[in-house]
Chains A and B, each alone.
Chain A
Amino acid sequence: MNSSLKKSLESAFKEVHLNFPEKDRLIINVKKDQAMSILKFLKEKGYEHLALVSCIDWIEEKEFELVYVLSSYLQNDSEYTEKEKANIILKTIVPRDNPRFFTTIPIFQNSEPYEREIHELYGIHFEGHPRQIPLFLERDYKIPPFRKDFDTRQYVKQVFDNIPSVEDRAGEK
């Protein structure tokens, strides 16, 4: 899988950084505007299973890293080849001060809830997403809660310390 895919990726796209941390893992680092065409290219090459869309907040570098994990489906367990066993991790960088990216729903239908989740928890806007409404949360937070500058402990203190305890209320009577 490694050499043939590497060759075709390098000939089709410029400025793509590939590295192989292990035998059946491939990490591709790409620029924001190339990500969509590479995802489409990989899908056509047979990596049609989008397992996960994730996001990392690198607060010191002032950027978000979007991570797409791809692998391929196959029908028969006797035919598993090196290509099929591979996981491809595609990564792209979105600046923290302008967190915008494009939706990948036209390529992978199941990225819809993942992008909704990332929009809610990290505040990244996905252009073209049809339903960017909250998925899990009930309240509106000033800082999206999964960002590194959202302090969970301080938030809990702020919210719950203002509610009087049962003992205090008993003393009032």
Chain B
Amino acid sequence: MRELELYFGPQHLGMVGNFSITLKVEGDRIVKATSNPGYLHRGFEKLMELRKWIQNFPMVCRINVVEPDSMEMVYSMAVEKLAGIEVPERAHYIRSIYLELARVGSHLFGLWAYANMLGFDTVAQWAMYHRDLILDLFEELTGGRVYHIYIWPGGVRRDFPEGFSDRIVNTLHSIGGCVPDYDAVFFNNRIFCQRAKGIGTVKREEAKEMGATGQVLRATGMKYDIRKVEPYAAYDKVPWEVPTREDGDAYSRIWVVRDEMIESVHMIFKLLDNMPEGETYNRVPNPFKWNIPKGEAYVRCESSRGELGLYLVSNGEDKPYRVHFRTPSYPHGLTVLEKALEDASIADVGNIMISLYVVAPEIDR
């Protein structure tokens, strides 16, 4: 049969985000797929070398549009490590609660994209509405809905307002009350099952070879989660489980996402119960005269997509010398996706890409 070259994205109904894939197809089977990133390359890492340590926050959170909060966290962690700043106990708890809220919000956004792509418009609208309820909480806490810049070196910007914990619990209860509806309409739906089972399968050994992390790896039965491997914030203070599945296909990945949301909500409840009183912020030096000692740090945390790392180098000045983010979508979008698309059908390109949770701005940076 004749081989054709087909461009999928950046302007395409099945494409979420500024990303494109060049497909070589035979009939409707894909022979070879090539990822083309770069539509959102803003050169943030270079620009950060020209700005002071604190001035970089507005760029840091814009690297991942969907989940800016773990970006703030990883940058703060690196700066704290280089400068030797301690974080108060209460701030650790607040950071964990805040990051788990962000994880639920990000997964709901991911669920919106996935359900929308499969044609489950009702579920997509629910997920978007429920994400908005979480954004309302963020707005009350930080003043911003999407970009918050709430985590700072030394702690968090402000303490929870009066009665905020109760409002978190209420919001999460009202979202959690809809889990049976989500299950009935989407997760246990036969159409979803048929569209997602056996699609985009990545075996465990392949996933490890290709540097996968996050749901992509956990859907193959590996309990690899940075929150457990190298606990940061308050993740080692409360008991929780790492949800996994065995098959490594799109169906398993979306189920891991669902289980992870529920686990996060339970974790937030436990963290709220155990939260100590006290300070939320240790003062740092004047940001405009702040020179950080010479050194380098590699820190990592678990974003909603997988292992998020930051390699930060200081040469003793008031600006970073080198910033390099290890974003989870980078191996997922450039290595795993090309492999998973081989021999798939054209109709499943969006399905596979969104189930791998690829976010283009994170790749381009």
Contact = CB atoms under 8 A, between A and B. Distances in A.
Interface of A: 21, 24-25, 48-52, 54, 56-57, 67, 69, 73-77, 80, 84-85, 87, 89, 108-110, 112-114, 134-138, 145-146, 152-153
A132 B47 CA distance: 25
Contacts of B309: 51-52, 69
B129 to A, nearest CB: 34
Contacts of A152: 43, 46-47, 50
B335 A109 contact: yes
Given A67-B311, A89-B298, A77 B223 contact: yes
A51 B208 contact: no
Contacts of B298: 25, 52, 69, 87, 89
Shortest 9 CB-CB distances between A and B: which pairs? A110-B211, A136-B38, A136-B41, A52-B326, A113-B334, A54-B324, A77-B228, A77-B223, A56-B322
A152 B45 CA distance: 12
A116 B113 CA distance: 30
Interface in B296-325: 298, 300, 307, 309, 311, 313, 321-322, 324
A110 to B, nearest CB: 3
B45 to A, nearest CB: 7
Contacts of A80: 228-229
Contact of A113 (B224, B242, B307, B330): B330
A51 B211 contact: yes
Nearest to A21: B295
B301 to A, nearest CB: 12
B208 A73 contact: yes
6 contacts: A54-B322, A69-B309, A76-B223, A112-B334, A136-B37, A152-B46
B305 to A, nearest CB: 14
B324 A52 contact: yes
Given A74-B224, A75-B221, A109 B307 contact: no
A135 B230 contact: no
Majority secondary structure, B binding face: mixed
Contacts of A135: 37-38
A112 to B, nearest CB: 7
B335 A52 contact: no
B46 A145 contact: yes
Contacts of B228: 77, 80
A48 B224 contact: no
A109 B209 contact: yes
B37 A73 contact: no
A24 B331 CA distance: 24
B331 A146 contact: no
A123 to B, nearest CB: 14
Contact of A51 (B37, B300, B313, B321): B300
A56 B321 contact: yes
A109 B223 contact: no
Q: Which of A48, A77, A137, A145 neighbours the largest number of chain B CB atoms within 10 Å of its CB?
A: A77
Given A77-B223, A136-B364, A145-B43, A51 B335 contact: no
Given A54-B322, A69-B311, A113 B335 contact: yes
Contacts of A57: 322
A24 B330 CA distance: 25
A109 B208 CA distance: 10
Interface in B327-352: 330-331, 334-335
Nearest to A108: B211
A110 B331 contact: yes
B335 A110 contact: yes
Q: Which of B41, B210, B224, B321 neighbours the largest number of chain A CB atoms within 10 Å of its CB?
A: B224
Nearest to A75: B222
B69 interface: no
